[in-house]
Amino acid sequence: MTSFVLIRLLRASATLAIVLAVAFFVLRLSGDAALETLSIDAPSEALSAFRAHWGLDEPLSSQFISYVRSVLTGDFGRSMRDGRPAAELVAECVPITLAITFPALLLGVALGAPAGVYAALRPGTGFDRCVMLAAVAGFSTPSFVLGLVLVWIFSVSFGWLPSGGATNWRHAVLPILTLAPSGAGTLARFIRNAMLDVLSQEYIRTATAKGVPWRRIVLRHALPNAAIPTVTVMGFMIGQLIAGSVVVESVFSWPGVGRLLAVSVASRDFAVVQCVLLLVTLTMITANMSVDLLYAILDPRMRRERATAR
Amino acid sequence: MLVDASNCAGGEEAMRFEGLSVSFGGAAVVHDVDLTIGRGEAVGIIGESGSGKSVAFLAALGLLPSARVSGSVRLAMTEILHAPRTMLETIRGRRVAMIFQNPTGALNPIQRVGTQVVEVLRLHLGMTEKAARAEAKRLFDQVRISDAARKLESYPHELSGGQNQRVTIAMALAGRPDIIVADEPTTALDAIVQAQILDLLAEVRRDAGCALALISHDLAVVARVCRRVYVMHAGRVVETAAVADLFSAPRHPYSRALLAASSSLDAAPRHGAERADAAAAIDGVAHGGCAFEPRCGDRLAECRDRAPPLGCSSRSSHLVACYRGVSELVSEAAE
């Protein structure tokens, strides 16, 4: 078990290193921070002073070495736009993003999971078809389209809710309603298929043949088995808590990590972008590792594979 | 000298099918099957795959929700066909228990095997958790699972196929049923384990005093455990007799073919030919005559016009659905 965790940690650090290196070079090769931050009309002395101040006139390789050195000591650099530490800027945005992504995740699970289970218990019925239609609509509608439609209905037509900003809870309602359907739809479809698969298994027939009441078969035999593959999807959804709302935050001018990322990429604010990417990669890795752990808790067959692998 | 089938079998009944027919989306799979299993009796049901032997029993217990089922299925005096679900739930596992072909697939992979036996005991016998665990351990000992106390805590993937089949037998015994239906219980196991499981089935059946319906494609399996046998072909019972009579004097040409197949070592190449014949048998059903007529070497003119009913001589419990077979039985009885 310890070697398993060790291997996973090594793999995770390798992933982090690759993401950081790729981001570092792609960002620097794809645009000039001085031009993007100051202006295309800025005098050339100002531009070269800017480059000298941020060390951009040095060769890329030495820039990279000093970047790695500072990251390893916990220094993620400063924002070129306002000079504040990048980590501080990002840390401020995280709770703001979670304020919409976490309720959206809960809402998605609350809607999607029961809908998927009920649809699987009545396959081919009108209810099943309605759920699947809604699910496909939910995860295939682009969030900027859904966001604009919601703004049009709730802000423009009825004037019930604000269309942007973040001063009180009312501002969070539309972003949450925009984010939730894709999670709900994905989950509903996935759980329905997992349940249908499990319900056709021989052990469900055995349970029926030994006189287990249908309700108990669903709750005790089918659901725990269907939960195993569903954990993967849940892990993916949790991994998206930080990074999944870039578009929605831009549509609703919600000052979270997503909008910070969009603005920072546009102005080539290297330190901030890299800091956000680091955070996003970390959430993804953590989510994936929790999925593996949950798998082992839910499925005894995984425990054994792990034991023999050791 | 044809006698109605129901008059030929007597005694107290654990289970009785009358005119049981099953169809899927208009395609009939089981036709008008009459079958009785006496109290404490071990009865074999044999036939090739697709002959409807498993389907008949699954349908009888309401385990085929997509099938159209008609006729009558009685347990002692209770009609259970089309019974309400809540009533079936008190019958399944309690009065009729089932054992399936693939033991590992038949067990919930993420529940400990002990828990799955305990579930039956708590549901049907209303035992407390503690009493049920003790009883489960006793059942594991009874089906000779070594180190029973520890095996109760195992998951199905940690046990062999043979051990898992012992678990499902313990699970079947747990509800103290009147009849156990074993559907190809040894087909998925290797030869030595097969024999052990069959002997175990025979033994626990005797000890528990319950009836057994042993469904198999293998005559040798049935002969090892059962005294009476039904031969099914293309969804019908074509012959029923004491195992000894069937072995010594099979009257239906299909029974003879089955006997020949199980005793010949080069059964494998024949098997392909039998499958082709099974397709021809469906044509036989289409023309309304005996389903075996297309592959029968001794066919008569009437075989194609009308399917022969099950018939017997008045003094025998040997029934056969064959014009030639019945006249053989009758002339034998007259001697």
pLDDT of residue B313: 66
* Residue pair B312/B318 in contact by the 8 Å Cβ criterion: yes
Enumerate residues 6+ apart whose C-beta is below 8 A from A6. none
pLDDT of residue A174: 93
What is the interface pTM, i.e. ipTM, of the complex?
0.85
- Closest residue in A to B64 (Cα) is A205
pLDDT of residue B250: 87
pLDDT of residue B315: 60
Query: Among partner residues A210, A221, A299, which is closest to B92 by beta-carbon distance?
Result: A210
Tens digits of residue pLDDT in A62-82: 888 888 888 888 888 888 888
Q: Which letter does DSSP use for residue B69 in this model?
A: E
Q: In whole angstroms, how far apart are CA A100 and each of A92, A262, A273, A279, B136?
A: 15, 17, 21, 18, 51
Q: In whole angstroms, how far apart are CA B239 and each of A222, B290, B306?
A: 41, 13, 17
Q: Is B295 inside a domain boundary?
A: yes
Task: Measure B203 CA to nearest chain A CA, in Å.
Answer: 21
Residue A209 and residue B107: Cβ atoms within 8 Å? no
Q: Which of B215, B217, B224, B265 is nearest to B244 (CA)?
A: B224
Cβ contacts of B168 on chain A, cutoff 8 Å: 206
Query: Among partner residues B63, B90, B119, which is closest to A209 by beta-carbon distance?
Result: B63
* Residue pair B32/B38 in contact by the 8 Å Cβ criterion: no
Residue B107 and residue A206: Cβ atoms within 8 Å? yes
Task: Measure B162 CA to nearest chain A CA, in Å.
Answer: 17
Residue B102 and residue A300: Cβ atoms within 8 Å? no
Cβ contacts of B157 on chain A, cutoff 8 Å: 300-301, 304
Task: Measure B304 CA to nearest chain A CA, in Å.
Answer: 39
Count of domains for chain B: 1
Query: Among partner residues A211, A214, A301, which is closest to B91 by beta-carbon distance?
Result: A211
Residue B157 and residue A301: Cβ atoms within 8 Å? yes
What tokens were used for A56? Answer: 């951009």
Contact residues of A toward B, CB < 8 A: 201-203, 205-214, 221, 224-225, 228, 298-301, 304
Give the strands of the sheet with B236-242, arranged side by side.
B96-99, B179-183, B211-216, B42-46, B228-233, B236-242, B319-320
Q: Is B125 inside a domain boundary?
A: no
Q: Does B134 touch chain A (CB under 8 A)?
A: no
SS3 B45: strand
| The pLDDT of residue B269 is above 50 | no
Amino acid of residue A150: L
What tokens were used for B52? Answer: 């409807």
Give the rounded distance of the alpha carbon of A163 from its chain centre: 23
| The pLDDT of residue B136 is above 90 | yes
Tens digits of residue pLDDT in B192-246: 888 999 999 999 999 989 999 999 988 888 988 999 999 999 899 999 999 988 8
Residue B171 and residue A207: Cβ atoms within 8 Å? no
H or E segment and range at residue A39? none
What tokens were used for B69? Answer: 């089922």
Q: Does B168 touch chain A (CB under 8 A)?
A: yes
Band (pLDDT 50/70/90 cuts) for residue B291 is confident
CA angle, residues B164, B220, B268, in degrees to nearest 5: 95
H or E segment and range at residue B37? strand B27-38
Rounded CA separation B156/B205 (Å): 24
Cβ contacts of B158 on chain A, cutoff 8 Å: 304
Question: What are B212's strand-pairing partners?
Answer: B42, B180
Interstrand relation of B228-233 and B42-46 (parallel, antiparallel or unpaired): parallel
Domains of chain A by range and CATH? Answer: 31-75 (no CATH), 87-309 (1.10.3720.10)
- Global pTM? 0.82
Q: Does B114 touch chain A (CB under 8 A)?
A: no
pLDDT of residue B113: 96
pLDDT of residue B283: 47
What tokens were used for B64? Answer: 């085929």
Query: Among partner residues A202, A211, A300, which is closest to B100 by beta-carbon distance?
Result: A202
Amino acid of residue B331: S
Q: Is B267 inside a domain boundary?
A: yes
> How many alpha carbons fall within 13 Å on the CB side of residue A238?
16
Residue A224 and residue B157: Cβ atoms within 8 Å? no
Q: Which letter does DSSP use for residue B193 in this model?
A: H
* Neighbouring C-beta atoms of residue B200, cutoff 10 Å: 18
Tens digits of residue pLDDT in B7-64: 344 457 899 999 999 999 888 899 899 999 999 999 999 988 888 999 999 999 999 9
Cβ contacts of A211 on chain B, cutoff 8 Å: 88-94, 120, 123-124, 175
* Residue pair B47/B225 in contact by the 8 Å Cβ criterion: no
pLDDT of residue B10: 44
Which stretches in chain A have pLDDT values below 70?
1, 304-310
When pLDDT is averaged across residues B175-188 and rounded to a whole number, the result is 93
Rounded CA separation B188/B167 (Å): 15
H or E segment and range at residue A142? none
Band (pLDDT 50/70/90 cuts) for residue B273 is very low
Residue B108 and residue A203: Cβ atoms within 8 Å? yes
Tens digits of residue pLDDT in B90-99: 999 999 999 9
Task: Measure A243 CA to nearest chain B CA, in Å.
Answer: 34
Query: Among partner residues A202, A213, A225, which is closest to B106 by beta-carbon distance?
Result: A202
Residue B90 and residue A211: Cβ atoms within 8 Å? yes
Q: How far apart are the first and last CA of chain B?
A: 15
Residue A212 and residue B123: Cβ atoms within 8 Å? yes
Rounded CA separation A54/A63 (Å): 10
- Closest residue in B to A300 (Cα) is B110
Domain range for B291: 250-335
* Residue pair A41/A282 in contact by the 8 Å Cβ criterion: no
- CB-based burial label for A213 (10 Å; 0-12, 13-18, 19+): middle
pLDDT of residue B76: 85
Q: Does B228 touch chain A (CB under 8 A)?
A: no
Q: Is B108 inside a domain boundary?
A: no
Residue B93 and residue A210: Cβ atoms within 8 Å? yes
DSSP per residue, B203-271: HHHHHHT-EEEEEES-HHHHHHH-SEEEEEETTEEEEEEEHHHHHH---SHHHHHHHHHHH-TTHHHHH
Query: Among partner residues B158, B171, B172, which is closest to A304 by beta-carbon distance?
Result: B158
Query: Among partner residues B63, B93, B110, which is closest to A224 by beta-carbon distance?
Result: B110
Rounded CA separation A68/A283 (Å): 20
pLDDT of residue A310: 38
* Residue pair A192/A233 in contact by the 8 Å Cβ criterion: no
| The pLDDT of residue B332 is above 80 | no
Q: Is B310 inside a domain boundary?
A: yes
* Residue pair B281/B234 in contact by the 8 Å Cβ criterion: yes
| The pLDDT of residue B287 is above 70 | no
Tokens 């009108």, located at residue: A126
pLDDT of residue B220: 86
H or E segment and range at residue B21? strand B13-24
* Residue pair B315/B333 in contact by the 8 Å Cβ criterion: yes
Residue A211 and residue B155: Cβ atoms within 8 Å? no
Band (pLDDT 50/70/90 cuts) for residue B4 is very low
CA angle, residues A181, A184, A186, in degrees to nearest 5: 105
Residue B63 and residue A208: Cβ atoms within 8 Å? yes
